[in-house]
Amino acid sequence: MKYVIIGNGAAGISAAGAIRKHDKKGSITVISDEPYAAYGRPLISYFIKGTVTQDKMPYKSPSFYEDYRIKTVFGQSAEKIESGSVVLNSGQRVEFDKLLIATGSLPFIPPISGLSGNPNVFTFLKLDDAIALKKAVKRDSRVVIVGGGLIGLKAAEGLHAICDNITVVELADRVLAAVIDKQGGDIVSDHLEKNGIKCITGNSVEAFNNNEAILKNGEAVGCDILVVAVGVRPNVRLAESAGISINKGIVTNENMQTSNPDIYAAGDCVESFDITDGSKRILALWPNAVRQGIIAGSHMAGGAEPAEKGTMPLNSVGFFSLNVMTCGITDPRDNSYETIIKTEGQKYKKFVIKDDVLRGFVLVDSPHRAGLYTALVRDKKPLSSLSGDITEEMGLINFSKDEIKKKIGGGEIQ
């Protein structure tokens, strides 16, 4: 059996491991346009900061590919998929029996004038982006980051270690708009400001001239380097070439199989089901990619890794030691949700509840045992079955005695 995986990220590498677990003999080929062993994408901000050196980037042990007998085709991009093979940019064809598309995302480039071909414009998604950026940025560089999402802010934090002038421009009324509510976002931007990063919200960059970034409101911000981090879109170009169905992302069944039974897809390029709001959308999240990779790999190799009933937004991220966690619905759009907010100094906890079920939460500077809340959201646990006020503190103690016994006494062992 010949397995080919396009993409060497969280989904691709997890799939490779899962395939090898089920099929000790088949050949596995991983194709990546990056010349590196798989690494944690989110680590690139730490790379810039210098807390993680390049040799510490790899996600797996150095002998991983060898141990799992995985053939690597690195530094070459897959161009198209046709009749049982992947065509590389070199023209070489790689034949497959089962193919996984784990091509992840591409940065979204907004229509800002002065971007195209400009060497002072960077994106912030790959290690190569980070290497280039780190090289370009000097202590006195003036950096403007377009986009105050997770990537933009992590880029800002990373760059802050090597550069004194950083401005983040975010179109929404708050940073982290995609994952957090206004109150939470403001705490984060206040914290960033305190740590020397300027945050401009409700605005956007319209033009960049290698000296200034001109904002939508006409304001000009001194800028030598512009980092574009407004978001990503699924990289579905190859999938299109294979003729498989695509909606917001690649469409798969619950086993990550696409409309072509020999082709699977996993990770950020796939359309997922958000169990917290029932929507189908792209959820570019690390654990999601890992899980989908494992499921895809397992099924490709004839295994039966049980499918997830869906996934949900889940983020934990730190900015200058301020931890921010979000899960599920954090900013409900209608008033059918109840929200409970607890604040104390920088600490901010918000719980979004509907129909006796926790649908999402925000925890700023309150990470203690947060996973228990995540489990409540995922399991749709009726809150009325819990004792005590979980918004104050959550523990297994809030469960019934029988449930506690199961959880601590091995009762959940199958």
Partner 1 sequence: MKRIYAREQYCINCRLCECFCKTAHSVSKDIIKAHKTEKPEPVSRLFVEGDNMLSFAVNCRHCDKPACVEACITGAMVKDPETGIVINNSERCVGCLSCVLACPYGAVKAGNIAYKCDLCRGEEMPACVKNCPNRALIYIEGGSER
Residues that bind partner 1 in the complex, under the rule CB under 8 A? 14, 40-43, 46, 51-52, 56, 58-60, 286-287, 290-291, 294, 314-318, 321, 323, 325, 327, 367-372, 374-375, 378, 394-397, 401, 404-405, 407-410, 412-414
Shortest Å, Cβ 58 to partner 1? 7
Nearer to partner 1, 142 or 154 (CB): 154
Mind giving me the DSSP string for 356-410? Answer: TEEEEEEEES--TTHHHHHHHHHHT-BGGGS-S-TTT---GGGS-HHHHHHHHTT
Q: Which is nearer to partner 1, 235 or 374 (CB)?
A: 374
Coil, strand or helix at 153: helix
Smallest separation (angstroms) from partner 1 to the CB of 208 = 30
Eight-class DSSP state of 178? T
Least separation in angstroms between residue 179's CB and partner 1 is 12
Position 207: which residue type? A
**Complex with partner 1: residue 32 or 374, whichever CB lies closer:** 374
User: Residue 40 Cβ, how far from partner 1 at the closest point, in Å?
Assistant: 4
As given in the structure block, the two tokens for residue 156 are 């800002």
Q: Cβ of residue 317: shortest distance to partner 1, in angstroms?
A: 6
> Scanning the structure block, which residue is given the tokens 């690195």?
74
Is 351:343 a contact under the CB 8 Å cutoff? no
CA–CA dist 265, 182 (Å, integer): 35
Least CB distance to partner 1 at residue 217 (A): 34
Residue 215 vs 314, nearer CB to partner 1: 314
Kindly tell me which of 321 and 335 has the beta carbon lying closer to partner 1.
Answer: 321
Quick one: 220 or 375, whose CB is closer to partner 1? 375
DSSP per position, 263-319: EEE-STTBEEEBTTT--EEE---HHHHHHHHHHHHHHHTT--PPPPS-B--EEEEEE
- Minimal CA–CA distance to 341: which of 353, 324, 328? 353
39 φ/ψ angles, rounded to the nearest 5 degrees: -140, 165
Name the minimum Å distance from CB 193 to partner 1. Answer: 22
Nearer to partner 1, 249 or 293 (CB): 293
Distance (Å, rounded) from C-alpha 365 to C-alpha 345? 9
